[in-house]
């Protein structure tokens, strides 16, 4: 991007990466005393502007970007500002060595890129948790990139495998590979020691799908849920997941501003979605009735299902599963399993698979997914109204609902 397009400071990492060179070198202000220099060759580096004891202004280098991230440069600039305000000199202290790039620089650069491309909030939290808890625990932040060994990378993988979280070990292995591959591509190091970890990974057991129910089991379950002693908010959230086939996390973190109760749609922004793309969910008559009731209870809150205090802004991730366990369905159904239930029932009743996949917000792979951006909103609205009516039929009996024309 051109520097005339910059809208805010400090400069976001996406801006730092995309700033275009010009015919002459230029300095672009990032924050107080800190500037990014961009050379005609495209090389970028950090400069700190300060007043010398003589009263003259001077410049001091903090290292090249992206070897030195924006976060690290700002931290060092603040340290130097404090040193100068205390009457001390920064003439000798060179601070950051340009020739050495640490693992933290590479890892945090990768993490920031995940944020910039709009990964879902849950994914970002997961990246952060395992970076801090497992990756940095084996490869210290200050480790120079050229001193990271294959053994270190193997130990990161083994650490997770020892806890028998093999699916998570596979994810972390992939992330570590991405971190070091990105560093190689940026010229920060020459080799990626995490590139062959899959060959020594423990074999994962065959995929076990989330516990879910098939149609013959649904009447008894729905009747048991009707008699549940769980709190009203819990039951509304549980039924919202059942009737819409949304991910439980989407329901937990749902906000009132996402709902248009007049038109009957739940509009989820891309940053909350696993795919990174906005998703729309049609709301059945039954769901709208409960949401209007819920608005009387939590409508003044940001969240539909608020938790308790600042520590827990929304209801616990175990809320739905606990509700299901309390009515005798522990091990038989979990919140996420309702997506399997909906998919199976809708397919068995010969609804178009494209509609079902769109409702589940599954990303279509291959060329078809690249060109087919259809959301089938109008047809899905009819499908999910029929689905809610069919669940009522299974629970209460009566006439079988007809599929819309």
pLDDT digits (tens, 9 = 90+) for 331-354: 999 999 999 999 999 999 999 999
What's the pLDDT score for residue 34?
94
**Rg of the chain, C-alpha, whole Å:** 27
The domain ranges of the chain are 3-85, 103-200, 215-396
How many C-beta neighbours within 10 Å does residue 362 have?
Answer: 14
Which range scores top for mean pLDDT: 137-141, 274-278, 359-363? 137-141
- Predicted confidence (pLDDT) per residue in 367-380, tens digit: 344 333 456 888 99
Q: Which letter does DSSP use for residue 144 in this model? A: B
> What is the C-alpha separation between 153 and 218, in angstroms, rounded?
47
Report in angstroms the alpha-carbon separations of 328 from 18, 133, 234, 325, 333.
55, 35, 16, 5, 10
Which range scores top for mean pLDDT: 93-97, 146-150, 186-190? 146-150
Residue 197 has pLDDT above 50, yes or no: yes
What's the pLDDT score for residue 206?
67
> What is the C-alpha separation between 231 and 301, in angstroms, rounded?
18
Mean pLDDT, rounded, for 43-56 = 83
> What is the C-alpha separation between 141 and 107, in angstroms, rounded?
9
> Buried b vs exposed e over 127-152: b needs ≥16 C-beta within 10 Å?
beebbeebbbebbeeebebeebeeeb
Judge whether 110 and 117 are in contact, CB under 8 Å. Answer: no
Does the domain formed by 103-200 have CATH 1.10.150.130?
yes
> What is the C-alpha separation between 39 and 50, in angstroms, rounded?
21
Question: Which residues, other chains included, contact 304 with Cβ-Cβ below 8 Å and sequence gap of 6+?
Answer: 237, 251, 254, 255, 256, 259, 291, 294, 298
More confident residue, 209 or 265: 265
> What is the C-alpha separation between 346 and 355, in angstroms, rounded?
9
Which two three-digit tokens encode residue 216?
């013959």
> What is the C-alpha separation between 192 and 177, in angstroms, rounded?
7
Mean pLDDT, rounded, for 198-213 = 82
Identify the CA nearest to 131 among candidates 146, 116, 142, 141: 141
Name the architecture of domain 215-396: Orthogonal Bundle (1.10)
List the end-to-end C-alpha distance of the chain, in Å, as a whole number: 50
Please state the CATH superfamily assignment of the domain spanning residues 3-85 in this structure.
Integrase, DNA-binding domain (3.30.160.390)
> What is the C-alpha separation between 213 and 230, in angstroms, rounded?
20
Residue 209 has pLDDT above 70, yes or no: no
* Least confident stretch, 148-162, 186-200, 233-247, 361-375: 361-375
* Least confident stretch, 77-91, 222-236, 250-264, 379-393: 77-91
Judge whether 172 and 138 are in contact, CB under 8 Å. Answer: no
Alpha-carbon 166 to chain mean position:
20
Asked if the domains 3-85 and 215-396 are classified in one and the same CATH topology, the answer is: no
């Amino acid at each position: 991007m051109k520097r005339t397009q910059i809208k805010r400071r400090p400069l976001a990492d996406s801006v730092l990466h995309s700033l275009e060179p010009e015919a002459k070198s230029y300095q672009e202000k990032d924050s107080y005393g800190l500037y990014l220099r961009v050379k005609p060759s495209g090389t970028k580096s950090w400069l700190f502007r300060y007043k010398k004891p003589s009263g003259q202004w001077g410049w001091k280098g903090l290292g090249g970007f992206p070897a030195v991230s924006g976060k690290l440069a700002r931290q060092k600039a603040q340290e130097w500002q404090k040193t100068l305000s205390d009457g001390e000199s920064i003439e000798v202290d060179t601070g950051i060595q340009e020739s050495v790039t640490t693992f933290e620089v590479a890892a945090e650069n990768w993490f920031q890129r995940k944020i910039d491309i709009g990964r879902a909030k849950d994914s970002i939290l997961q990246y952060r948790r395992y970076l801090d808890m497992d990756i940095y625990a084996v490869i210290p932040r200050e480790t120079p990139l050229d001193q990271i060994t294959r053994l270190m990378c193997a130990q990161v993988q083994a650490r997770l495998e020892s806890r028998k979280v093999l699916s998570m070990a596979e994810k972390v292995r992939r992330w570590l590979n991405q971190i070091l591959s990105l560093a190689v591509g940026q010229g920060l190091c020459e080799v990626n020691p995490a590139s062959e970890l899959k060959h020594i990974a423990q074999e994962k057991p065959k995929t076990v799908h989330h516990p879910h129910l098939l149609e013959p089991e649904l009447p008894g379950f729905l009747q048991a849920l009707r008699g549940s002693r769980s709190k009203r908010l819990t039951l509304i959230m549980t039924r919202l997941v059942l009737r819409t086939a949304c991910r439980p996390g989407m329901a937990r973190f749902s906000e009132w501003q996402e709902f248009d109760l007049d038109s009957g749609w739940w509009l989820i922004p891309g940053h909350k979605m696993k795919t990174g793309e906005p998703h729309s969910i049609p709301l059945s008559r039954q769901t709208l009735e409960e949401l209007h009731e819920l608005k009387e209870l939590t409508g003044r809150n940001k969240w539909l299902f608020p938790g308790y205090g600042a520590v827990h802004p929304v209801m616990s991730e175990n809320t739905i599963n606990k509700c299901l366990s309390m009515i005798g369905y522990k091990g038989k159904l979990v919140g996420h399993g309702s997506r399997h239930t909906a998919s199976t029932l809708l397919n068995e009743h010969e609804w178009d698979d494209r509609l079902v996949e769109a409702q589940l917000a599954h990303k279509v792979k291959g060329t078809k997914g690249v060109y087919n951006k259809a959301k089938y909103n109008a047809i899905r609205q009819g499908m999910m109204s029929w689905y809610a009516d069919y669940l009522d039929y299974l629970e209460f009996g009566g006439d079988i609902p007809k599929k819309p024309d």
